[in-house]
Amino acid sequence: MEGFLRFLVAKAILLALASSFVSCYDPSPLQDFCVAVDDASGVFVNGKFCKDPKYVKAEDFFTSGLNIAGNTINRVGSNVTNVNVDKIPGLNTLGVSLVRIDFAPGGQNPPHTHPRATEILVVVEGTLLVGFVTSNQDNNRLFSKVLYPGDVFVFPIGMIHFQVNVGRTNAVAFAGLGSQNPGTITIADAVFGSKPSIMPEILAKAFQLDVNVVKYLEARFSSNYDRHY
């Protein structure tokens, strides 16, 4: 009897953990669609309010412009064009979004992470070096590969990853993400461009740098110019 009770308790814990894990991701739809709508009178929640279905139209599931190259004249030489729930309200609760990434020769999408989404990227033009780094528990291993048109690479949720144009011409890639609003944390922007700034002494010790070097980096990133998304 005692062993059976232990089994039931263990099963209950596993079910609770599973439920908690599932709740970390985008909410599952409980109807055909939940087109996002702003409602200033409501309480802000993780997601969006739903438009009355009888007022939904085709335009709620549509956007255009991904045929237009993004402006890559900036400090990193790339541009990300987002197609998320803010661009297509009909994406709300569907757990998916899309980006177009343009790269100048030598341009990069700097090391960053998406806290709410796995990313799957396909190269349509040019040559990209891509990679991601695993967690501390996995000894921060780097998985990296050079991609050509038609090649596909996956970046697991939460992993720090990057893309660099290693060709002599412009490059273009499209990526699908497993969230209507995956979020982006660009490591350098977050660390050296936080508001207010992190104490230089903390970053100097963390990155094994001279304090003056940290102050220089914070001055560059805190200016917020050409911040990359």
Is residue 228 marked as binding? no
Do residues 173 and 128 lie in contact, with contact meaning Cβ atoms separated by under 8 Å? Answer: yes
Cα distances (angstroms) measured from residue 61 to each of 43, 84, 92, 196: 25, 11, 10, 38
> Across the strands, what pairs with 177?
97, 119
Do residues 174 and 100 lie in contact, with contact meaning Cβ atoms separated by under 8 Å? Answer: yes
Strands 49-50 and 36-37: antiparallel
Is residue 2 marked as binding? no
Is residue 119 marked as binding? yes
- Distance from C-alpha of 171 to C-alpha of 160, rounded to nearest angstrom: 21
Binding site per annotation, positions: 112, 114, 119, 161
Binding site per annotation, positions for Mn(2+): 112, 114, 119, 161
